Every structure is written in structure tokens, then in C-alpha cells.
Amino acid sequence: MNLTTSKEHYLKTIYSLSDDNQGVHITEIAEKLEISKASVCTAMKALQEGNYIYRGKKRLVYLTKKGEMQARSLTEKFETIQCFLMRILHIDSEIAAQDACVMEHVVSTETLHAMLSLTNQH
């Protein structure tokens, strides 16, 4: 299975919701993303196929090592972009978050690195 933008979103959400990977309810994910439980359920099957998550006790959703690495990477990208937008371009945090949230899935590593170093040396 390939990670699409949508799937990456799910991973990031699971990561952000699970405290120390203690497992997340499908309902929680649905509420956070403001989408139906059914959609989440379907997506979880695909992510399980791809070995990004597994279902544990009480049907909770857990990230696998692979899933966790992906999620962490995405979260880092998000933060890099958001910080860059805020500190270098002086964008409001709300809007910076929105922009970062779409950019994180598409931006090249080159651009990402450049953003990071410019933000740091600032």
C-alpha cells in the first residue's frame, strides 16, 4: 500500500492522539479529523495492510515501528515548515499551521532542509 496524503494524515493524527503509543480509538480519530467513523475504519484497514498500524486490545489502534517512524517524520516536517513560516515569513500561527499541514505532504527534502537551516541560523 502506498502512503497518500490522506493516509499520512491519519498516521499523524494517531501519533498525536496516542500518548506513548497507548492505543487510540477509531472514534477519537474520527472526532479529531471531523470525519465519519466509517471512513476511519476503512482507512485503518488499509494502514494495517501496509503494516503502519495494528489493532490491539479492545480494538485500539497502535502504530507499528514503521508507522511511528513515518508519523514522527511527518510531524517533524510539519513543525519545520510551521516554524519557518512563523519566524521567517512572520505568518500568523493559525495560518502557518494550515499551510504547513498541506505542505508537509508535498515539499521536497531540499526545501525542507533549507527551511530548517534558515530558521535555525535566524
Partner DNA sequence: ACAGGTGGTTAGATAAGACTAACTTCAAAA
Partner DNA sequence: TTTTGAAGTTAGTCTTATCTAACCACCTGT
Q: Which of 45, 49, 114, 120 binds a copy of itself (CB under 8 A)?
A: 114
Q: Using the rule CB under 7 A, is 32 a contact of DNA? A: no
79 vs 82: CA distance, rounded Å: 5
Scanning residues 53 to 92, which ones bind DNA (CB under 7 A)?
Answer: 55, 58-60
Pick from 14, 43, 74, 100 the residue near DNA by CB under 7 A.
43
- Which residues are near DNA by CB under 7 A? 2, 4-7, 9, 25-28, 34-39, 41-46, 55, 58-60
Q: By the criterion CB under 8 A, which residues form the site for a copy of itself?
A: 85, 88-92, 95-96, 98-99, 102-103, 106-108, 110-111, 114-115, 118
